[in-house]
Amino acid sequence: MRIIILILALIGFQKMAFCRLIVCPTFHDMQYQSDIVVIARPIASITSTNFKSDSGWRRELDVQDVLTKFEVSNVFKGDKNLKTFTLHHFRANRKITDPTNGPHFVTFDSRLDSYYLLFLKQESDGQYVPVTGQMDPGITCIMELKRDSPFPESK
């Protein structure tokens, strides 16, 4: 009976053995490492031909550099007069076959009225990048703010 349980456990956890480690820092750590922490909405995105990274995983995953311009709503850290900024991030050119073990890139649709909480570092060229790096900003430092609220609006 123990052998059967062991075999089932090994089969069930086999997928986990090939997963990669994802570091998820705390909000405090991200705020400390960020140059700006803002709530903003995307207003335009363009695909960049200026490749900023040539790391192995980038070539292997077939990603594209994207520049997304944001309009700032609130500034929690950084220049309080900041009105717009440009975020440099990656987008996959093809569908990620294993999203569990794949990167968690971000995509933005400027036609929607969506707001995001962003923890960002500034590069030497003035553009911003995700504070946790390009591989997993979608689950670490860039979060869409949902409009659903558990509290009723006052009338």
**Global pTM?**
0.76
Helix-, strand-, coil-residue percentages of the chain, each rounded to 5: 20, 35, 45
Pick 8 or 73 by higher pLDDT: 73
What the block records as the tokens of 88 is: 């440099």
If you ran DSSP here, which 8-state letter would residue 135 be given?
Answer: S
46-76 per-position pLDDT tens digit: 887 655 554 555 555 667 888 999 999 999 9
Confidence grade of residue 80 (pLDDT, cut at 50, 70, 90): very high
- pLDDT greater than 90 at residue 105: no
pLDDT of residue 154: 46
- pLDDT greater than 90 at residue 11: no
Confidence grade of residue 137 (pLDDT, cut at 50, 70, 90): confident
Most confident of 41-45, 64-68, 103-107: 41-45
Lowest mean pLDDT among 69-73, 86-90, 100-104: 100-104
By the 8 A CB rule, do 33 and 131 touch?
yes
Class of domain 23-145: mainly beta
Provide the phi-psi class of 62: left if phi over 0, else alpha when psi is between -120 and 50, else beta.
left
